[in-house]
């Protein structure tokens, strides 16, 4: 499936951006856990249904890329729908991946010689 590499590229690039911004490895590790793992696991619709969350939390889920990835996976594997139904999620996930790669490239200004 095409969506796993797009999501992983965006997630790995986000990790590079976090590593660039953090001064120590411990801070980068803790920041990555708080910024990526916890929201992705709890607020993406993987464990808890987004419709059962309070309205304010439901709005926050739109800013978590894993939400779109989980929606794509559920739609394709469980419901059997095609990309024409999930085009918005696919576009937003691709946009996240592109933005994170650009931010990582801009932030990582070291050159190997």
* Least confident segment among 27-36, 73-82, 91-100: 73-82
Q: Is residue 111 part of a domain?
A: no
Instruction: Give the structural domain span for 49.
Output: 3-105
Q: Which of 15 and 110 is assigned the larger pLDDT?
A: 15
Listed in sequence order, the residues at least 6 apart from 96 whose beta carbon sits closer than 8 Å to its beta carbon are 10, 65, 68
pLDDT at 86: 87
Contact present, 31 and 18 (Cβ < 8 Å): yes
pLDDT at 1: 64
Q: How many domains does the chain have?
A: 1
Q: Is residue 110 part of a domain?
A: no
pLDDT surpasses 80 at 47: yes
C-alpha distance from residue 44 to each of 17, 37, 60, 63, 110 (Å): 21, 10, 10, 10, 34
Q: Is residue 69 part of a domain?
A: yes
Q: Is residue 112 part of a domain?
A: no
Dihedrals phi, psi of 31, to nearest 5 degrees: -65, -40
Q: Is residue 39 part of a domain?
A: yes
With 0.85 as the threshold, say if the pTM is over it. no
CA-CA distance, 29 to 25, in Å (whole number)?
Answer: 6
Q: Tokens for 9, please give them.
A: 């590229």
pLDDT surpasses 70 at 113: no
The model's confidence at residue 82, banded by pLDDT at 50, 70 and 90, is: confident
């Amino acid at each position: 499936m095409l969506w796993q590499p797009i999501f992983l590229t965006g997630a790995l690039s986000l990790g590079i951006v976090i590593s660039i911004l953090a001064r120590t490895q411990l801070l980068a590790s803790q920041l990555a856990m708080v910024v990526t793992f916890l929201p992705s696991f709890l607020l993406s619709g993987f464990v808890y249904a987004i419709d059962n969350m309070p309205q304010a939390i439901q709005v926050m889920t739109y800013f978590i890329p894993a939400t779109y990835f989980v929606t794509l996976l559920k739609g394709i594997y469980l419901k059997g729908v095609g990309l024409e139904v999930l085009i918005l999620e696919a576009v937003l996930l691709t946009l996240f991946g592109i933005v994170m790669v650009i931010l990582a490239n801009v932030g990582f200004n070291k050159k190997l010689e």
